[in-house]
Amino acid sequence: MWYSKPNSLLKDAIRSITGRLRMSQSLGSIANDAVVDTGENEPTGVLTVINETDDEIAIWAVEGNTLIAIQVNTNFSDTLTTASKINVAFDTDQYKVENKLGSNKIVRFHFVA
C-alpha cells in the first residue's frame, strides 16, 4: 500500500541518500588514448562507468583507492594503460577514465557515496 505521508524514518533515509548521491556526469567523447579526470575522490561508495557508444557497463564497489568488481564488462579494466579497454583507476588524487579501445567513445560516470 502506498502512503502519501512517509514516516520520519523513511524521510531521514531519503535525506541521507539524496544528500550523498552524485548526479551522473557525461565525460563526453573520449578520444583513443585520452585520460579524463573525473574530479571524484570519495573513499567509499559505488562507481558505475557506462560506455554509451558500445552499450557496455562496469560497476565497482570503492574501498579506499581500491575498486572491487561487482559487474564489469570485459571491455573495462581497473588499471590505467591496459590495452584494448576502458580503464578506470584512482591515480594521484582522483578517479580517472582512460580510453584504449581504438576509437572515440562516449562515456558516462556515476558515483554514489
20-59 pLDDT per residue, tens: 555 567 788 999 999 999 888 877 888 899 999 999 999 9
Q: What are phi and psi of 11, to 5 degrees?
A: -60, -45
69-84 pLDDT per residue, tens: 999 999 999 999 999 9
Does any domain span residue 8?
no
Distance CA 14, CA 7 (A): 11
Q: Which parts of 1-113 are beta strand (E)?
A: 25-30, 35-37, 44-51, 56-63, 66-72, 76-77, 86-91, 94-99, 105-112
Please enumerate in sequence order all residues whose Cβ is within 8 A of that of 4, keeping only pairs 6 or more positions apart, or say none: none
Q: What is the pLDDT of residue 13?
A: 54
Give the number of C-alpha atoms closer than 13 A to the C-alpha of residue 76, restricted to the C-beta side: 26
Looking at the structure of the chain, the number of domains it has is 1
Does any domain span residue 9?
no
Does any domain span residue 89?
yes
- Residue with C-alpha cell 578520444? 31
Residue-number span of the structural domain to which 86 is assigned: 24-112
Does any domain span residue 40?
yes
CA distances from 106 to 18, 36, 96 (A): 26, 12, 15
Does any domain span residue 19?
no
Does any domain span residue 65?
yes
Does any domain span residue 5?
no
Does any domain span residue 18?
no
